[in-house]
Amino acid sequence: MRTKILCLALIGLFVLIGCKGKPVHDATSSDTIRVENSPLKERITGRELIQRLQKAYGLLDDLVSDPNCPAFLMGIYLDKGVPVIQVEGDTVLIRQELEEKLESDAFRLELTGGLVFSQKRLQMLQDEMSKRLSLPENAEINANIIGYGAGVHHLSVNLIVNTPERQKEFREKIIDSPALEFRGKTGNELCTLIGTSDTLGISLEPERPVYPCHTQTVKFILHNNTGYVGTSAASILYGEGYSLAYERDGQWFYVPINDNVIDIGYMLSPGEEGMFSASLYPDIHPNQPGRYRIFKDVRIGGNREKVLLMAEFRLED
C-alpha cells in the first residue's frame, strides 16, 4: 500500500500581475537600487517602492477593477530589481506626479499602447478570453488548454497540442491578438530520455501490454522489491508526474500531455506495489498504433537517489 505524504508543488502556474494582493513580476530579484540623481540619495528596494505606490494611491485590488487606480497607471513590474511603471499619457506630467507621491525617482516609466501591451490591457484581454472559453460551443478548444495567464507584455496560452492548426483555431474561435504567446508541444519533439524497467530491486510495468488506440488512460504498476535478490531494503518516493513517448520511423517523440499537475508525494515501502494511471488524450490527438513508453522519476532510500524508470506498451486498432 502506498502512503500519501505531502503536497509538493503546482507546476506551470501563470503569474497574474496587479496591485496590492497580487504577485509582482520580477525578471530577476528585487535588488536594492540607488539612483544617483535622486534628491533623497536613498537606498530602497524595488518592492518597497511599489508598496509606496500602492499606499500613495490606496490601491487595494487589481488595476482593472480598482476604483482608486489612476487613469494613467497601466501596470507595474520589476526589471532586475528596478520598478517599471507602465503608463499612458504625458510622461513628463506623470513622472512629476509620481516623484512627488513616492518621494523618489528610483523607477522607470514605460509608455504603453500599440504593440506595447500593458498589464491592464492584458488582464482585460484575459478576462474576455476566459468568458469565451467557458461557452459550451468552445469545449473542445478548452480541453486542449493547460493554462493561461498575463505576463509583463504577453498573454501566455499553454496548449497540450501546440500546432499551427490549433493556434489558428484558437485565434479564429476564441480571441485574436498580437499579445498572444502560445506554448506547448507539437508532438514532433524528440525524446532522448533513457530509463530502465528494473533496477536496484524496483520495477515498472503496464497493467496490460496492449491497449486499443482510443484508450483514455493506461495503468502502471510500480514494484518495490528492495530487500530481496541481494538489494538493501529501502522506501520509494514518487509523484504524479510522468512523460510519454511514441516511436515513429525508428525515433522516439514526446506525446503531448497536460503536464500541469499538483504533484502528490507517495511512499512505497519494501515489499509493496503501487498503481498509477497515465492519460493518453485520444480526443485531443488521435494516437496511432505502435510502441509507446512512459518515463517516471522515483527516489530511493534515505538519500533519495533519483532513478528514471521506463515501461513500454503498445497501442493497436
Which domains, and CATH codes, for the chain? Answer: 20-111 (no CATH), 119-185 (3.30.70), 198-316 (2.60.40.10)
For residue 2, name the pLDDT band (cuts at 50, 70, 90): low
Return the pLDDT at 267. Answer: 93
Single pTM value for the model: 0.80
- Given a cut of 70, is residue 33 above it in pLDDT? no
For residue 261, name the pLDDT band (cuts at 50, 70, 90): confident
For residue 302, name the pLDDT band (cuts at 50, 70, 90): confident
Return the pLDDT at 141. Answer: 97
Q: How far is CA 102 from the centre of its chain?
A: 34
Please give the residue that has the higher pLDDT: either 302 or 243: 243
Return the pLDDT at 7. Answer: 41
- Given a cut of 70, is residue 186 above it in pLDDT? yes
- Given a cut of 50, is residue 233 above it in pLDDT? yes
Return the pLDDT at 15. Answer: 36
Return the pLDDT at 25. Answer: 46
Candidate from 43-52, 115-124, 283-292, 303-312 with smallest mean pLDDT: 43-52
CA dist list (Å): 166 to 113, 182, 248, 267: 28, 10, 22, 39
Distance CA 16, CA 131 (A): 17
- Given a cut of 80, is residue 39 above it in pLDDT? no
Chain mean pLDDT for the chain? 86
Return the pLDDT at 232. Answer: 81
User: Cα-Cα-Cα-Cα dihedral of 64, 68, 69, 70, to 10°?
Assistant: 130
- Given a cut of 80, is residue 16 above it in pLDDT? no
Return the pLDDT at 279. Answer: 96
For residue 31, name the pLDDT band (cuts at 50, 70, 90): very low
Return the pLDDT at 9. Answer: 37
Return the pLDDT at 1. Answer: 56
Return the pLDDT at 23. Answer: 36
Contact 207, 275 (CB under 8 A): yes
pLDDT in tens, 132-144: 999 999 999 999 9
- Given a cut of 80, is residue 32 above it in pLDDT? no
Buried b (16+ CB within 10 A) or exposed e, 123-160: bebbeebeeebeeeeeeebeebbbebbbbbbbbbbbbb
Distance CA 174, CA 131 (A): 9
pLDDT in tens, 208-221: 999 999 999 999 99
Return the pLDDT at 5. Answer: 52
Please give the residue that has the higher pLDDT: either 304 or 49: 49
Return the pLDDT at 22. Answer: 36
Return the pLDDT at 43. Answer: 65
Of the chain, the percentage scoring pLDDT greater than 70 comes to 85
